[in-house]
């Protein structure tokens, strides 16, 4: 019903004007204050860590929760993929990385009642712009990188970066005694902010640049990633089940927070041995010598890194299924197409979350600019269920397949309704039907 009302009122068209008004800002801040008071200002009871990033923040948050929960104290985590209170897992079915203020404060209050001492939160630029975190008392802010995304909302990269910078300003302005920050030296914004911001303690990390926590000798193997981590006078060997070197950046960010909290580096790295990964983040399904990967990659940078890794794998063909969400940053659609066109042997373009935008218009904008036909390995199949079934029908032994865009998500926003959804579930259903036929 809410979706229908928005469509009738053309909400998506005038929202960007409304949100810049003082009335809208005051309304959002009122709800933030009220939710915080309603639940008893729960963030004051935790050591609160906020992680912001364009790509990879979910992995960083999950790795950080795993380490801290195992080695320091009971930890609550709120991320795009899932929510954890200690070892108890709860699904994040809101399709929101940064929850509504009432859901957020309510979960923190619940975690407080269950004796959590640390909170790790995924913090998005839109969540910051909408004042969802304004009354959360952060102790530490973590930046991982800033690449193009959400420009439909923010307008420019500088505005996008300024929105993320609010997380660090919250740390500097609140009344807590701890004011820590973590910055990536391999990112231009990270280098600048490390130099400019006056924190009590700040830690830098990187692979390619000089940093306080630095990875060297990074090696990608078939089922793991290996590197050496240097910190102060110590050198630590790291092996992780997380695939591709890009995830070493996520791990370094998490280890940098551990350094700030005086956690033992040896114990922190040892804890990673039992980290099994995250649903919908390079999640592998192996069937008849075909490697299927389910990943949330839905931006140009994420697709570039993911496909760059998969292109190096020994394989017959690289098959990519992807789309673009409706009512979101239309400018990135042809960029995503160009990247997929560059790497993939076969491309299946399909629905992501059309939402209230015309699905056919989205698909036509995705494949705009670079000609490719069915003879060149292009299939446009709007219905995602049929598209996944088609991929299963055309694969050959030795192929590598990427199902991109939905990852862990459990719902799809179509033009008509929200329906239960799982890329992994649909893939397994298609594989089972193939076996039975």
Summarised one tens digit per residue, pLDDT across range 232-265 is: 889 999 999 888 788 899 999 999 999 999 889 9
Q: Positive or negative, the Cα torsion across 23, 26, 29, 31?
A: negative
Taking alpha carbons only, the member of 94, 70, 71, 73 closest to residue 82 is 94
317 band by pLDDT with thresholds 50, 70 and 90: very high
Band (397; pLDDT cuts 50, 70, 90): very high
Partners of 101 in the β-ladder? none
Q: What percent of the chain has pLDDT over 70?
A: 90
Paired tokens of 53: 């990033």
Q: What angle do CA 142, 146, 147 make, to 5 degrees?
A: 155
Q: How many CA atoms lie within 13 A of 219 on its CB side?
A: 10
Residue 66's H or E segment, with its range, is helix 57-71
pLDDT at 357 over 50: yes
Tokens encoding 399: 């192929």
| Percent of residues, the chain, with pLDDT higher than 90 | 57
In this prediction, residue 9 has a pLDDT band, given cuts at 50, 70 and 90, of very low
- Tell me if 83 sits within 8 A of 77, measured CB to CB: yes
Give domain 283-436's CATH superfamily. Answer: Mur ligase, C-terminal domain (3.90.190.20)
- The reported pTM is 0.84
Torsion of CA 324, 329, 331, 336, to 10 degrees: -30
Q: How confident is the model at residue 416 (pLDDT cuts 50, 70, 90)?
A: confident
Query: Does residue 169 contact residue 179 with C-beta atoms inside 8 Å?
Result: no
Token couple for 106: 């309510």
Identify the top-confidence range among 80-84, 367-371, 398-402: 398-402
Tokens found for residue 171? 């740390």
**Which CA distances in Å does 96 have to 41, 92, 100, 276, 410?**
22, 8, 8, 23, 12
- CA 418, CA 355: separation in Å to the nearest integer? 9
Q: Residue 74: is its pLDDT beyond 90?
A: yes
CA distances for 10 relative to 5, 28, 55, 402, 403, angstroms:
8, 21, 30, 35, 32
Choose between 178 and 383: higher pLDDT: 383
Say which CATH class 2-274 falls into.
alpha beta
Residue 193 — φ and ψ, nearest 5°? -70, -35
What average pLDDT is seen over the chain?
A: 88
187 close to 143: Cβ distance less than 8 angstroms: yes
Helices H / strands E in the chain, number of each: 16, 19
Domain ranges of the chain: 2-274, 283-436
Say yes or no to pLDDT of 222 above 80.
no
pLDDT at 148: 55
The three-point CA angle 244-185-65 to 5° equals 60
pLDDT higher than threshold 70 for residue 59: yes
Q: Alpha helix locations (H) across 230-351?
A: 246-260, 265-271, 300-311, 333-343
More confident residue, 247 or 91: 247
User: What pLDDT does 54 receive?
Assistant: 62
Predicted pLDDT at 17: 65
Tokens at residue 343, please? 């790497």
14 against 406, higher pLDDT: 406
Q: What pairs with residue 215 in β-bridges?
A: 229
Cα 285 to Cα 292: distance, rounded to the nearest angstrom: 5
| Residue scoring higher pLDDT (199 or 19) | 199
């Amino acid at each position: 019903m809410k979706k229908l009302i928005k469509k009738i009122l053309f909400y998506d068209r005038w929202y960007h004007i409304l949100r810049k008004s003082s009335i809208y800002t005051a309304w959002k801040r009122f709800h933030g204050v009220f939710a915080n008071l309603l639940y008893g200002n729960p963030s004051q009871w935790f050591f609160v860590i906020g992680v912001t990033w364009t790509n990879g923040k979910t992995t960083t948050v999950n790795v950080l929760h795993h380490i801290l929960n195992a080695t320091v104290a009971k930890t609550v985590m709120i991320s795009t993929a899932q929510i954890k209170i200690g070892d108890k897992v709860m699904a994040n079915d809101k399709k929101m990385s940064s929850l509504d203020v009432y859901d957020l404060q309510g979960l923190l209050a619940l975690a407080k009642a269950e004796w959590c001492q640390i909170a790790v939160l995924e913090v998005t630029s839109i969540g910051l712009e909408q004042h969802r975190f304004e009354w959360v008392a952060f102790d530490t802010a973590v930046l991982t990188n800033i690449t193009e995304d959400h420009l439909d909302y923010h307008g420019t990269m500088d505005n996008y970066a300024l929105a993320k910078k609010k997380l660090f300003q919250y740390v500097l302005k609140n009344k807590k005694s701890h004011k820590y920050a973590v910055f990536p030296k391999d990112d231009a914004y990270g280098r600048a902010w490390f130099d400019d911001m006056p924190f009590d303690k700040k830690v830098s990390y990187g692979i390619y640049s000089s940093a306080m926590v630095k990875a060297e000798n990074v090696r990608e193997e078939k089922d793991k990633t290996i590197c050496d981590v240097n910190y102060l006078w110590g050198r630590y060997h790291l092996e992780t089940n997380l695939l591709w070197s890009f995830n070493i950046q996520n791990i370094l960010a998490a280890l940098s927070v551990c350094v700030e909290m005086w956690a033992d580096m040896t114990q922190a790295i040892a804890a990673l041995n039992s980290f099994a990964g995250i649903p919908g983040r390079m999640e592998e399904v192996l069937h008849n010598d075909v490697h299927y990967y389910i990943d949330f990659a839905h931006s140009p940078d994420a697709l570039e890194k993911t496909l760059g890794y998969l292109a190096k794998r020994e394989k017959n063909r690289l098959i990519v299924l992807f789309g673009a969400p409706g009512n979101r940053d239309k400018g990135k659609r042809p960029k995503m197409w160009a990247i997929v066109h560059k790497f993939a042997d076969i491309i299946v373009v399909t629905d992501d979350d059309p939402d209230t935008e015309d699905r056919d218009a989205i698909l036509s904008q995705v494949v705009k600019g670079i000609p490719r036909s069915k003879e060149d390995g292009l299939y446009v199949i709007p219905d995602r269920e049929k598209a996944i079934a088609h991929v299963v029908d055309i694969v050959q032994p030795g192929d590598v397949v990427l199902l991109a865009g939905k990852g862990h998500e459990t719902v799809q926003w179509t033009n008509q309704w929200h329906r239960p959804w799982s890329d992994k579930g649909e893939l397994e259903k298609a594989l089972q039907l193939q076996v039975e036929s």
